[in-house]
Structure 1
Amino acid sequence: MTAVRQDAWSPDDDLILAEVTLRHIREGSTQLAAFEEVGERIGRTAAACGFRWNSCVRKKYEEAISIAKQQRQKRNYFKKQSSAPQVSSIAMLDAEEGTAYKQEAGMVDEGISIDAVIRFLRSWKTTYQELSRQIKMFEKEMKEKDDELLKLRNENKRLASEVNNAESDYRAVNDDYKTLIQIMDRARRLTVLSNEEEAKPRFKMDANGNLERIE
């Protein structure tokens, strides 16, 4: 039973989905069969694969889908040509030349089959080049994302360092402020005491034994 995954689709998952679906289109199979195969390979349900294909991946491979459909038509044409009666009799030639065959009466024009094979191989080459281009594009996007992630991490470290420095400066300023308040409070108390001492009247005794106030 295929395990149901809940994580996000990765570029590799999308690439597998595209490759398998395009192959099924080329071979004349159904997309449902492609989704079931992909589900077995990446651990997702066929419904999830179908939804991902129709909602996101398909639009990136419109050109490749068109090529795959053309290849399917050529493949069907080639099969029809191959199944048509082409040989009425086959004779073995000289063994030193290896295995060779002689086509006699009733043979269809050989150039048609060769041309079909050439066109089919050229279509395969085009599809391969398209997939290679898509892979390079994904690799480039992943590298750009990795570079962006690295920049963000460095920026986060820098901001975290600035925050730590600001907190240290704040604690230092706060300690200085508390010390200043204590000094100012102590100075205020000394000033009050000094004023109180100056405000107290002072007396001295004269020669007759009387107290006299000193201004």
Structure 2
Amino acid sequence: MKKLGILVAGLLLLAVLGAGCITGDSTMETTTVSPSGGPPEDRGYGGIPGEGYSEVPNVSAMPYQELSQDEIDAILYMREEEKLARDVYLVLYNKTGLPVFQNIAKSEQTHMDMVLSLIEKYNLTDPVEGMGVGEFKSTEMQNLYEELVSKGSVNEVEALKVGALIEEIDIKDLEEWLKRTDNEDVKAVFESLMAGSENHLRAFTRLLENRYDVTYSPQVLSQEEYLSIVGR
């Protein structure tokens, strides 16, 4: 199931609202990140106490279940989508210096590793194996990465809006994939990814509000769902 059209639509909305790649080793720490250091609004995930942590399911300890084609597609798609998020945040951290991007990039690496555990358990082919930061097998994903980096490189506010957009897309995609799976491994991993994406969305949007006095408007999620996530 293709969701790149939703992302492109979101980018067009982002351009209305708001009116390169980097080199190096892409291997990152695979632990969750605790907020620390910097001014209060920058700690970890934006200075939001208790956020930025999500349970990592031990899929190797769960029973083996056959995968449907939808479940295979979901696993491979989310592996690449989590890489997209990680790579964009690494670039935007280099561009802006905002700690929120560095910390959430580490969390996205953990998310990538969680999806990889499913790939390895079920002997699937990793679609991003051996690829560095900013490199993608999918032409559409490659183009999208470059578009997101371009949008987010304008200034700090636009960078944070790009981060929020990515997390909205992750949430929407995960909701759709979860409707199409009954595999307990996949459900456990995707529900953990969902919790992480909700944390990240709160971090980006609250930093926009607290530091820049910008009220974020959802671009993919409904207003009702967005408000239920951010707690307003």
Question: What TM bracket, shorter-length normalisation?
Answer: under 0.3
More strand by share: 1
More helix by share: 1
Larger Rg: 1
RCO (CA 8 Å, sep 6+): is it higher in 1 or 2?
A: 2
TM-score normalised according to structure 1 size: 0.23
